């Protein structure tokens, strides 16, 4: 387990650098936190740190966004907020992405918990106040 404090939005790039050190061989990251906790903002900053050349946006309506890094690696970004059942998730083949060998960042992972790989890294974003957050990384 690792904890990283985010004292302000200005600190996000440095926090993203610290987070990237936890990626190692892990590929699927489940981002958890209340609405407005900053899941998408943090993922956007991590993608910047990883060299993503595409615009990183919330996949709320698309459910899945695909990004490319400058070195040609693919990153998948999911927003499972609107997925109402595991059956729905399997119908759109989410599991195929998780086992693709590419990085996967999943928001609202609790909606698809049963199909997440066993080695999924849980990333809890806790709101401390309007400006500060605490990231708790729980590796399997």
Q: How far apart are CA 58 and CA 44, in angstroms?
A: 9
DSSP type of residue 9: G
Structural domain of 38: 2-138
Helix (H) or strand (E) holding 44: helix 39-49
Q: Residue 78 belongs to a domain with what CATH number? A: 3.40.50.300
pTM, whole model, 2 decimals? 0.94
Residues 6+ apart with CB under 8 A from 129: none
- Give pLDDT tens digits along the chain (140 positions): 899 999 999 999 999 999 998 898 899 999 999 999 999 999 999 999 999 999 999 888 889 999 999 999 999 999 999 998 989 999 999 999 999 999 999 999 999 999 999 999 999 999 999 889 999 999 86
- State how far the Cα of 130 lies from the Cα of 99, in Å rounded to an integer: 36
Q: Where are the beta strands (DSSP E) in the chain?
A: 2-6, 28-32, 64-68, 74-79, 103-107, 121-127, 133-138
Instruction: Taking each helix axis as running N to C, give the angle between helix 39-49 and helix 12-20, from 0 to 180 degrees, rounded to the nearest 10.
Output: 70
* Count of the separate structural domains present in the chain: 1
């Amino acid at each position: 387990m690792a904890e990283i404090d985010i004292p302000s939005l200005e600190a996000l790039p440095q926090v993203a650098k610290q987070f990237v050190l936890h990626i190692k061989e892990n590929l699927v990251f489940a981002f958890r936190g209340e609405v407005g906790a900053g899941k998408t903002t943090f993922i956007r900053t991590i993608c910047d740190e990883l060299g993503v050349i595409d615009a990183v946006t919330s996949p709320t309506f698309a459910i899945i966004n695909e990004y490319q890094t400058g070195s040609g690696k693919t990153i998948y970004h999911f927003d499972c907020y609107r997925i109402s059942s595991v059956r729905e998730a399997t119908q759109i083949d989410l599991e195929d992405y998780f086992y693709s060998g590419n990085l996967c960042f999943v928001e609202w992972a609790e909606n698809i918990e049963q199909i997440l790989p066993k080695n999924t890294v849980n990333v809890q974003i806790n709101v401390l106040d309007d400006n500060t957050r605490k990231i708790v990384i729980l590796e399997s």
